[in-house]
Chains A and B, each alone.
Chain A
Amino acid sequence: MRKTVVIAACMGVAIGFASGLALSQQDKSTIEEIERYRQALADGNPADLWEMRGEGIWKQKRGPKNASLEKCDLGLGPGVVKGVYTVLPKYFADSDKVEDLESRLVTCMVTLQGLTPAEARKDPFGGPGKKVAMDALVAYITSQSRGMPMKVSGKHPKEREAYDIGRAIFFHRSGPYDFACATCHAVDNQRIRLQDLPNLLTAKDAQRAYTSWPAYRVSQGELRSFQWRLYDCFRQQRFPELEFVSPASIALTMFLAQNANGGVFNAPAIKR
């Protein structure tokens, strides 16, 4: 009996402090310590500023049609923001395409606000002295899925196609360094220098990685979207420049998001 309790306590710690398990007093205080620290970090995450700005931009009338994005169907019906990131990317009948959050926002800026596609894609990422609407919208919308499990669909033929192509992209080796995503992300417990590399083919690592983006990067002072994460890994892979919301970026996102299904979404996060 005692043994069971100890094992249960250890598991409670290991799987992220599942509630309702019998824990020793010491475990409890350690857990409370960590929880307080986590809370402090969460309270202090500058991503909040992006989230707040994003909510404003979502509701603001913009573009030639002077309309807000509030009627945008991100995947759970017009205007539904709550939980929507957990079902993306997905197939949309109106555009007849699989879209991720960023590409769907571009679609809505075009259809609802009257921007040209080029205008809607113009400023994908923020930089020094430049804050962009896209980062803020991504922060706001993803924040509304926090605490909910990922459940990306692979039922529609185009969703399956995106997944299969995304998988092939993951294993595509080329360029001067002969790198693929798989070179750095297909083996357990590897690191580059001291940086841990998630094995994105396993549910455990894929969930942990995928559910922690977008993220506020302390080293860059910016909120970074998942599109940016892919863009920058391709740069390190010595590939040319990935185009924002390009078909390859969406297919690869579909592959990684489905691998992360079941993981509890916990972003915008804060990273080094």
Chain B
Amino acid sequence: MKPMPFDYARAKDVPDALAALADADAGARVMAGGQSLVPMLNLRLATFPRVVDISKIAELRERSESADAVTLGACVTHGEIEDGEAPEPAAGLMRHVAAGIAYRAVRNRGTIGGSASLADASADWVTTLLALGARFIGRGPDGEREIAAPDMFLGPYFTAMTDQELLVRIVVPKTSRDATWGYYKVTRRSGEYGLSIGAVILDPAREHASVVLGAASRTPLACTAAAAALRGAPRWTEALETALRTAIAEDLARAERPFEPHEAIMVETTILRAAAQALGVS
């Protein structure tokens, strides 16, 4: 199980990387942590003539914080977020999510930008960043552009970015201080990708709630009806649960395909439990 031959180049900065990507015929592919790319290469599921390593580009490793957002360079690792070596925008949600991705040895190299760029429908960051309303900053031959989360993830392994663009950073809006969240990931074996992920953020100070269902369909599903049911809800009640179930059914009906009965049970559970957790019930 060894890759096909390829060339390797280490980009020293973003322009260097963009130059490598500019020549479409060269078939270059960037590598961040390599934690998804190298397994694919090993399995010969993917082959690229040229791999451009962006993991050491200083700009992509930067992280900063402003009054209303946290900005993470694309090559910040899951492990760094887990360890609090990056500012936390969402009352601990990002740290929690990071700690639940794969295993520590993978988290030490895998990056948030790599995850977002790969756009595996089951990936934790894809769901989480959508729930947080993150913005993705891509840079290409024509300069920078910003892509809002709902426009970013177009399908499994398919984002709004072009092959000539590099994801350089991710801007995550801060929640207010007393915002709460719930994150519920169903896996059969710990550390694996989720079968279903529910992410719920409740920010009463901003009268905002967001609910995203991940992993269960081709792209994460923004559950707007569930979010509406949760907005302003002070605590978990039976009435709320009933309302939520109805709302979830409404949201699921908008998915690109009908859920099989067993899937419907699981995804409903996932969202309900994430919501309950956000309201302090576990």
Question: Are A and B bound to each other?
Answer: no
